Chain A
Amino acid sequence: MLEARFETPLANCEAATGTYVSLREIGERGMIDLRGSAGDKKFLAAAKAVLEVDLPKQPRTSATWGDIRVFWLSPDQWLITCPRARAQDLSEALSAELAGVHSLAVNVSDMRAIIRLEGEGVREVVMKGTSIDLTHGDYPPGSVRRMRFAEIAALLHVVEDNVIDIYVFRSYAHYAWEFLRKAARKGSEVRVFPKAV
């Protein structure tokens, strides 16, 4: 009998060598899609009771508490990331706490792939696939937004000045990986933004 085995979306991708920023898959994060109204006090209180952190209400921001991160996606949607092993328990705890409140908490850990870019020049590499000006002061560490990246839907998380996570839907993982591998190839530095930040 064959046994089902969990594999991350990019488990079989070609390693990124010869790039001027490092690329790797983050496979150990779980994700929970949380929906509800930012204007509903009961909803906010229930989310905080489980996550121990207030949901961020400012557009394009995130909040961190221990190993939990909450991304603002829209006035009624947040993406929670946590260690993969905790995602199911956490989403069930949210659903239980939110009983009776118009809301939704779903474990979507297998929905997206996360690619981490690290090193001087990450902003430039990402800008090769999007119209966003990441050299602008609008994108300090902690910034989160969805965007059109290399013609596909993606989520951008500026972790640190020179560390960026790109979230893409699982079926696009290989495409995004290959795009980034080529966009980051040594010798393809644009150098238009020598000090990107």
Chain B
Amino acid sequence: MIVVTCPVCGIKGDETDFHYGGQAHVRRPATTDPVNITDEEQRDYLFIRHNPKGLHFERWRCDRGCGKWFHAARDTVTLDFKAFYGITELPPVELQQQAKGPWADYFQSRAKAR
């Protein structure tokens, strides 16, 4: 059983009290640069997702509780949640550093952009 904790209202419950909302941190390229967006960028935004074995970052909704969206870091092998964090936030720094593959690239690019 996956036990989820909502970082907004604090309720703890099994998966059925919540709703999985797909991969976290998907950014719509057209928001920042609508004129110069390429077909590839739009394709990646719509269809291409990471499928890591290990640490992954997801969106969840407190479906039957406060109704708010939030982020979660989860290990896809052990199903262990590593952190729950706000919907406008990035994961805790130590998890960003543990991330591998496309997630590592992504967090590095976000750090550079700041």
Contact partner of A148 (CB less than 8 A), chosen from B8, B9, B16, B68, is: B16
Q: Is there a chain A Cβ closer than 8 Å to B39's Cβ?
A: no
Near A by CB (< 8 A), chain B positions 17-52 give: 17
Q: Is there a chain A Cβ closer than 8 Å to B10's Cβ?
A: yes
Classify chain B: how many residues form its interface, as a range.
10 to 19
A-B contact count (CB 8 A): 42
Q: Scoring A residues 97 to 131 as 1 if CB is less than 8 Å from chain B, else 0, what string do you get?
A: 00000000000000000000000000000000001
Near B by CB (< 8 A), chain A positions 124-162 give: 131-132, 145-148, 153
Beta-carbon nearest neighbor of B66 in chain A? A74
**B13 / chain A contacts, CB cutoff of 8 Å:** 131-132, 147-148
**B68 / chain A contacts, CB cutoff of 8 Å:** 74-75
**B9 / chain A contacts, CB cutoff of 8 Å:** 59-60, 74, 145
Q: Is there a chain B Cβ closer than 8 Å to A21's Cβ?
A: no
Near B by CB (< 8 A), chain A positions 45-78 give: 59-60, 73-75, 77
**A59 / chain B contacts, CB cutoff of 8 Å:** 8-11, 66
Q: Is there a chain A Cβ closer than 8 Å to B67's Cβ?
A: yes
Tell me the minimal C-beta distance from B94 to chain A in angstroms. Answer: 26
> Which residues of B are at the interface with A, using a C-beta cutoff of 8 A?
8-11, 13-14, 16-17, 63-68
